[in-house]
Structure 1
Amino acid sequence: MKIKALIPNLFTMLNLFCGCVALVMISNLNFDWAFFFVCLGIFFDFFDGFFARKFGVAGPLGVQLDSLADMVTSGVVPGYTIYRFLNEIDIDEFVINHCIYQYKGADYIPYLGFVITLGACYRLAKFNIDTRQSDSFIGLPTPANALFFTSLPLLHIIPDNVNDAVNLNFTLLKIVLVVLVFLSAYVMNAEIPLFSLKIKNFSFAKYKLQIFFLALSILLLAFLQILAVPLIIIIYVLLSVINNIVTKKASV
């Protein structure tokens, strides 16, 4: 076997390794380092496909390895991130002090974070047998979804001493997170065409949407830093939906 045939799979293994390290970081509540290793894993995930196509060594083994590695880095990691993050948002004291009925299932709410993992697993299985997604995506890709959720804990700092109003915000935050979890599982598997970010030859007329999105993403990252990450993912989905509507109307 030629060495170049092993290079894509090596990058896939590095993606998987980064996902494993990210899980350790989350276990220690080091959400910033977990986010870093997810980004690094996605970087390796991009280049395994790049080298497989460049060297002409793409094959079924690489496809399966890629999905298995993505299942960890872009499936298990974001699910575990939200599980641990939801555990850090404690509403029990607020509920008891205000004589509101204590929901017996409250301790189980963090487990809903793994709905992300289930949705990612289903999407990856669909992706492997869907021939329509060679140049574009149908449904939100799991790496983009992973970036969205692993960046969220970095936007929120839980203070040591909180008053009732802040606790109420924690309650709202918990509800919003659970809604986002279920929404993400849907968006990953929905029949929503998303424009491709692959620019094969520079043509402003052909790739103006991609160029606009990339330029906007760079500006957001420059001014908003980590806050830009979830915003970029949301903008990507919204722009795709708007583009689909405009394209459909133009073809009528």
Structure 2
Amino acid sequence: MKKHIPNAITLLNLLSGLIALVYAFDDNLQMAFFWVCLGIFFDFWDGFAARILKVTSPLGVQLDSLADMVTSGVVPGVVMYQMLSHIQQNDETYLVTNETFYMKLVPFIGFIITLGACMRLAKFNIDTRQTDSFIGLPTPANALFVLSIPLILSTTANETLINLLSNPYILVVISFFSALIMNAELPLFSLKIKSDQLSKNKTALLFLLLCVVLLIIFQFVAIPVIIAIYILISLILSKTKVSL
């Protein structure tokens, strides 16, 4: 019976991603963010449960990536598509001057994120270097970054930030950047709990504590900052040869 527990947790990740997808298509990006967060929560614990119960299996590895593909790959692509679509619909000047077939294709650039996530997850399954750490930004981290953008826009009063994140060119750059950084040869420490020993998880736990503090202080704006800090700390640890 216990061998099915980790896979059940993984399937809860997939279910959360499917619900998030429905909300994303319905243009309720706040609820999509909530369900993606819940899916990432399940993704955080499925591997830990497998190790604790000593029931790790190749099936679990494949199932984990398939669930992540929906929750952290398809959903952020749809969210970016929705954001780019709204910019076109709400900008009358844009509609008058750019009503061409080519420009109508711009929102589909958001799915570059999904393609990049697919490549990353496929490589992750066959890359033996990523058993204890990551090479490239993990798809859940990138998903949180992308889904935080509409939430920042809906909660901030900073005009500069609003203009920046509402710019279609910036969103297109973010789409390509997401696909690139997920597949970059960039060593990053793992945020997953590797064992029940506190000493082996100190980097991840300290970073998660920092995340909580930043989220309390800065709310959704903290998410891109957290991603940047995560990359920076990983680079420092890698350059100083400290174990990730």
Q: Deviations over 1:22-59 (max 9, x none)?
A: 01111221111111100100111122111111111111
Please list, as runs of the form range in 1=range in 2, the aligned pairs for 1:187-206 lying within 5 A after superposition: 187-197=181-191, 198=193, 201-202=197-198
Q: Select 2:53's aligned residue among 28, 42, 55.
A: 55
Matches of 2:52 and 2:205 in 1, distance apart?
A: 24
Check whether the contact 2:19–2:35 (CA below 8 A) recurs between aligned residues.
yes
User: Which residue of structure 2 lines up, in the alignment, with residue 93 of structure 1?
Assistant: 92
SS in 2 for 1:194: strand
Question: Taking structure 1 as the reference length, what is the TM-score of the superposition?
Answer: 0.83
Q: Select 1:21's aligned residue among 19, 22, 25.
A: 19
Is 1:72 matched with 2:70?
Answer: yes
| Residue 92 of structure 1, CA deviation | 5.1
Check whether the contact 1:89–1:170 (CA below 8 A) recurs between aligned residues.
no
| Residue 224 of structure 1, CA deviation | 0.8
Matches of 1:43 and 1:67 in 2, distance apart?
A: 15
Check whether the contact 2:73–2:114 (CA below 8 A) recurs between aligned residues.
yes
Question: Taking structure 2 as the reference length, what is the TM-score of the superposition?
Answer: 0.86
SS in 2 for 1:89: helix
Cα 1:4–1:148 shift into 2, 3 Å: same
Where has structure 1 moved over 4 Å in runs of 4 or more? 100-104, 198-203, 206-212
Q: Size of the alignment, in residue pairs? A: 235
Which moved further from structure 2: 208-217 or 186-195?
A: 208-217
User: Which residue of structure 1 lines up, in the alignment, with residue 223 of structure 2?
Assistant: 229
| Residue 94 of structure 1, CA deviation | 1.8
- What letter is aligned with 2:127? D
Q: Deviations over 1:136-191 (max 9, x none)?
A: 11100111111111111111139xxxxxx99x947962111110111111111111
- Unaligned segments of structure 1, at least 5 residues: 159-164
User: Which residue of structure 2 lines up, in the alignment, with residue 162 of structure 1?
Assistant: none
Task: State the Cα RMSD in Å.
Answer: 2.7
